[in-house]
Amino acid sequence: MAPQVAIRGQRSLLRQIREALAGGGPAQQRLDMVVRIIALSMVAEVCSIYLRRASGEMELFATEGLDVKAVHVTRMKPGEGLVGEIMRLGRPLNLADAPEHPAFSYRPETGEDPYHAFLGVPLLRGGRAIGVLVVQNRTERTYSEDEVEDLQIIAMVLAEMVASGELVSIGDLEGVELAPRRPERIKGSKFADGLAYGVAVLHEPPVASSQLLSEDVVAEQQRLVSALTALKDQIDQMLEGQHGLVDASYEVLETYRMFAHDRGWNRSLEDAVKNGLTAEAAVERVRSEHRARLGQARDPYLRERLHDLEDLNDRLLRHLSGDGSMARDLPDNAILIARNLGPADLLEYDRHKLRGLLLEEGSSASHAAIVARALDIPCVGRLAGLRDKVSEGDPVIVDAETGEAYLRPRPDVTSAIKARIEVRRQRKAEFAKLRDTPAFTRDGVKITLLMNAGLDVDLESLADTGAEGIGLFRTEFQFMVSEEMPRAGAQTALYARVMDAAGDRPVTFRTLDLGGDKVLPYMEAEREENPALGWRAVRMGLDRPALLRIQIRALINAARGRPLRIMFPLVASCDEFRTARSLVDTEIAWAQRRGKPTPSRLDVGAMIEAPSLIWHLDALLPMTDFVSVGTNDLMQYIFAADRGNPRVADRYDFLSPPMLRAMEAIQRACAETGTPVSVCGEMAGRPLEAFTLVALGFERLSMPPTGVGPVKQMVLSCDREAARRGVSALLKSSAGSVRNEIETLARKLYLAV
pLDDT score recorded for residue 133 = 94
Per the CB < 8 A criterion, the answer to whether 614 and 608 are in contact is: yes
Q: What is the DSSP pairing of strand 189-192 with strand 379-381?
A: antiparallel
Higher local confidence (pLDDT), 263 or 42 = 42
More confidently predicted of 725 and 522: 725
Residue 566 has pLDDT above 60, yes or no: yes
Contact 690, 680 (CB under 8 A): no
**Class (C level, CATH) for 444-748:** alpha beta
From 268, 256, 348, 264, select the one nearest 310 (Cα to Cα). 256
Is it the case that residue 669 has pLDDT exceeding 50?
Answer: yes
* pTM (whole model) above 0.85: no
% of the chain beyond a pLDDT of 90: 41
Tell me the percentage of the chain whose pLDDT exceeds 70. Answer: 81
DSSP annotation of 531 reads G
Is residue 288's pLDDT more than 50? yes
| pLDDT at 627 > cutoff 80 | yes
| Weakest mean pLDDT among 24-38, 523-537, 562-576, 608-622 | 523-537
Asked if the model's pLDDT at residue 287 lies above 80, the reply is no
User: Is the CATH number of domain 184-204+328-424 3.30.70.960?
Assistant: no
How far is C-alpha 671 from the geometric centre of its chain's CA atoms?
41
Answer whether residue 340 shows pLDDT above 60: yes
Q: How far apart are CA 119 and CA 217, in angstroms?
A: 27
> Which of the residues are catalytic?
367, 680
Region(s) of the chain under CATH 3.20.20.60: 444-748
Closest CA to 612 of 647, 571, 579, 643: 571
CATH number assigned to the domain with residue range 209-321, chosen from the 4 options 3.10.20.740, 1.10.274.10, 3.30.1330.60, 3.40.980.10 = 1.10.274.10
- The pLDDT of residue 274: 80
Tens-place pLDDT, residues 44-94: 999 999 988 877 889 999 999 999 999 989 999 988 999 999 988 888 999
Least confident range from 66-75, 185-194, 345-354: namely 345-354
Q: What is the mean pLDDT of the segment spanning 394-408?
A: 93
Average pLDDT in the 132-145 region? 92
> What pLDDT does residue 7 have?
36
Alpha-carbon distance of 46 to 92, in angstroms, equals 17
pLDDT tens for each residue of 232-247: 777 676 555 433 333 3
The confidence score (pLDDT) of residue 1 equals: 37
Rounded to whole angstroms, the Cα distance separating 467 from 705 reads: 8
- pLDDT at position 724 over 80: yes
Q: Where in the chain is the domain with CATH 1.10.274.10?
A: 209-321
**CA quadruple 95, 101, 105, 108: dihedral positive or negative?**
positive
Among 173-187, 262-276, 379-393, 733-747, name the one with the lowest average pLDDT.
Answer: 173-187
SS3 700: strand
**Cα(243)–Cα(225) distance, integer angstroms:** 25
Spell out the residues 6+ positions from residue 413 whose beta carbon is closer than 8 angstroms to its own. 183, 397, 406
pLDDT tens, position by position, 467-494: 999 999 988 877 776 656 778 888 899 9
pLDDT tens readout for residues 575-619: 999 999 999 999 999 999 998 999 999 999 999 999 999 999 999
Give the per-residue pLDDT at 159. Answer: 80
User: The sheet that has 334-338: what strands, in order across it?
Assistant: 184-187, 404-407, 395-399, 195-202, 334-338, 354-359, 379-381, 189-192
Q: Residue 451 — pLDDT band, cuts 50, 70, 90?
A: very high
- From the number of C-beta atoms within 10 Å of its C-beta (0-12, 13-18, 19+), residue 607 rates as buried
Q: Where are the alpha helices (DSSP H) in 174-249?
A: 217-239
CA atoms of 154 and 384, how far apart (whole Å): 30
Q: What are the residue ranges of CATH 3.50.30.10 in the chain? A: 184-204+328-424
Q: What is the three-state SS of 280-318?
A: HHHHHHHHHHHHHHHCCCCCHHHHHHHHHHHHHHHHHHH
- Phi and psi, residue 186, nearest 5°: -120, 130
Q: What pLDDT is recorded for position 341?
A: 77
Helix, strand, coil percent values for the chain (each to nearest 5): 45, 15, 35
Residue 11's pLDDT is 60
Residue 3 pLDDT exceeds 50: no
- Distance between CA atoms of residues 357 and 577, nearest Å: 38
- Report the CATH number of the 10-173 domain: 3.30.450.40
User: Using N-to-C axis directions, what is the helix angle for 251-260 and 217-239, rounded to 10°?
Assistant: 160
Map residue 403 onto helix, strand or coil. Answer: coil
**Within 13 Å and on the Cβ side, how many CA atoms surround 531?**
14
Q: Is residue 172 predicted with pLDDT exceeding 70? A: no
For position 525, what pLDDT does the model report?
Answer: 53
pLDDT for 629 equals 96
Residue 220's pLDDT band (cuts 50, 70, 90): confident
Phi, psi angle pair for 165, to nearest 5°: 85, 5
Residue 567 in this model has a pLDDT that exceeds 90: yes
Average pLDDT of the chain is 82
Query: What pLDDT is stored for residue 386 in this prediction?
Result: 85
Q: What is the mean pLDDT of residues 203-209?
A: 61
For residue 526, pLDDT beyond 80: no
Residue 196 makes CB contacts below 8 A (sequence gap 6+) with: 335, 355, 356, 377, 378, 397, 398, 400, 421
Give just the sign of the alpha carbon dihedral 79, 84, 85, 91: negative
Max distance between CA atoms of the chain, in angstroms, equals 94
